[in-house]
Amino acid sequence: MVGALQQGAYEMVDDAESADVIIVNTCSFIQPATQESIDTVLELAKLKTSGGLKKLVVTGCMVQRYGKDLEGELPEVDAFLGTGEYHRIVDVLRDRNEDAPKTHIDVPMYLHDELAPRINSWSKCSAYLKISEGCDHRCAFCIIPTLRGKLRSRTIPSLVTEAERLVAEGVVELNLISQDSTAYGRDLRGVEGERQGDLGDLMRALAKIDKLRWIRLHYAYPHGLPDSLLDVLANEEKVVRYLDIPLQHASGPMLKAMRRGVTRAGQERILERVRKAVPDISVRTTFIVGFPGETDADFRELYNFVEAQQFEHVGVFTYFQEDGTDAAKLDGQVEDAVKKSRQKELMRLQKRISKKRLKGLIGTTVPVLIEGLSPESDLLLRGRTDRQAPDVDGQVFIQNAPEGVAIGQIRDVRIAQTGDYDLVGEIVD
């Protein structure tokens, strides 16, 4: 949307008070996210009377979920766009027809391509590259298929073109994302019905881009990982040895109730296959605690699974009873206090695992992507190793800054100290 707006001669401003137009892109995955979106809209709407705000537009998942009902709930808003309509943002802002519809929602079908304008407003040296939209799974706890539609993969040439443009702007790390990355390419067929490529083919094509250094994969559904993916993880230098593979639980009854399509033994076989193919891989995963019907025994099985697997990175979420999902109707809803207690216990375990792992890096030298100054002190640089993803994993704090060090460089750093999740070291000049 930012790219389209700049192309449409709109100028971005740094603060809401000086804006003529404000666009709020919303989340609605769980109710707290919806409430946060509503609170944000209401707060910004005040600028229509106290500031110079002329148009307030709301886009994204909350709109897709609640549709025209929002018109009555949020009369301050001038236009609503669903998840498949964001490419129309400039036309909607320019439309002065008072009889024009206020809400624009349809079945999500739109998929941006290499011709869509894009502004990488997040980082000078790193970027997310969305390889597909939508999801064909029907996990009991998840509303994403309703909000985002069915799987729609972008073609490899389209992704390579966008990636080349990002690299030309200074990006050295690409983080591949989608709602279900494992499924990438399953819907792409040639004129005779043949497959048009999978994750392995895509990553090999991206690896050919000059000056691109790291390629990282996120959100790989565990079931159905293609052999070609494991091959590039093991053998392609630019593909970092890192895999984000959300498992959600380990107890058989919980996995079945969640409709994950895999058992604990199946997950163990998948992890064994991954680690056999790529012995030095770092695995990130996420789990949900407090899913309906989760007993102490189910949680203990999950706890033991995490202890046995010794994952490099783990995120733990408490289940939220979300209307519109099948899980919301299940018996055995778990009390919030129990959910939070289980979350804390599992994260305490992971903290111990992470701390022990990181201690083993003291004295070693690792490649680190320089990202800027530390928010804690202007005397420290910050960066990430190839085993740390942006936003969700730890960081590396760098105590020295030799002449010539710059954002976007990948420099060797000798690790001197470690914490629970972060590393501290010095650049080896």
What are the structural domains of the chain? 2-104 (3.40.50.12160), 126-359 (3.80.30.20), 365-427 (2.40.50.140)
Which pLDDT score is estimated for 131?
A: 96
pLDDT at 369 over 90: yes
Neighbours of 119 (CB within 10 A): 14
Q: What angle separates helix 296-309 from helix 336-359, to the nearest 10 degrees?
A: 10
Full-model pTM: 0.91
Question: How far, in whole angstroms, is CA 223 from its chain's centroid?
Answer: 19
Return d(Cα 213, Cα 239) in angstroms, integer.
Answer: 8
Which residues have CB under 8 Å from 34's CB, separation 6+?
26, 27, 28, 62, 65
What is the pLDDT confidence band of residue 98, given thresholds at 50, 70 and 90? confident
Burial class (CB in 10 A: 0-12, 13-18, 19+), 210: exposed
What's the whole-number mean pLDDT along residues 277-294? 96
Residues β-bridged to residue 384 = 369
Neighbours of 177 (CB within 10 A): 16
What's the whole-number mean pLDDT along residues 414-428? 95
Return d(Cα 427, Cα 399) in angstroms, integer.
Answer: 8
What is the pLDDT confidence band of residue 97, given thresholds at 50, 70 and 90? confident
Neighbours of 379 (CB within 10 A): 11
Which pLDDT score is estimated for 192?
A: 67
Q: What is the pLDDT of residues 379-401, one digit of tens each?
A: 789 999 999 999 999 999 999 88
Q: Positive or negative CA dihedral for 306, 311, 315, 321?
A: negative
Provide the mean pLDDT of the chain.
Answer: 92
Which pLDDT score is estimated for 428?
A: 92
Which pLDDT score is estimated for 378?
A: 73
Which pLDDT score is estimated for 337?
A: 97
Report CA-CA distances (Å) from 203 to 206, 215, 274.
5, 8, 17
Residue type, 286: T
Q: What is the pLDDT of residues 108-133, one digit of tens each?
A: 888 899 999 888 888 889 999 999 99
Residue 325: which of 32, 109, 65 has the closest Cα? 65
Structure tokens at 316: 């733990």
Lowest mean pLDDT among 191-205, 227-241, 360-374: 191-205
Q: What angle do CA 31, 347, 34 make, to 5 degrees?
A: 10
Dihedral (C-alpha) 358, 244, 336, 253: value to the nearest 10 degrees?
-110
Which pLDDT score is estimated for 191?
A: 65
- CB 122 within 8 Å of CB 167: no
Helix (H, G, I), strand (E, B) or coil at 366: strand
Is the pLDDT higher at 422 or at 322?
A: 422
Residue 59: which of 26, 31, 29, 108 has the closest Cα? 26
Residues β-bridged to residue 80 = 58, 103
Helix (H, G, I), strand (E, B) or coil at 398: strand
Question: How far, in whole angstroms, is CA 396 from its chain's centroid?
Answer: 21
Which residues have CB under 8 Å from 288's CB, separation 6+?
141, 248, 249, 258, 316, 317, 318, 319
Phi then psi dihedrals of residue 36, to 5 deg: -60, -40
pLDDT at 349 over 90: yes
Return d(Cα 288, Cα 110) in angstroms, integer.
Answer: 31
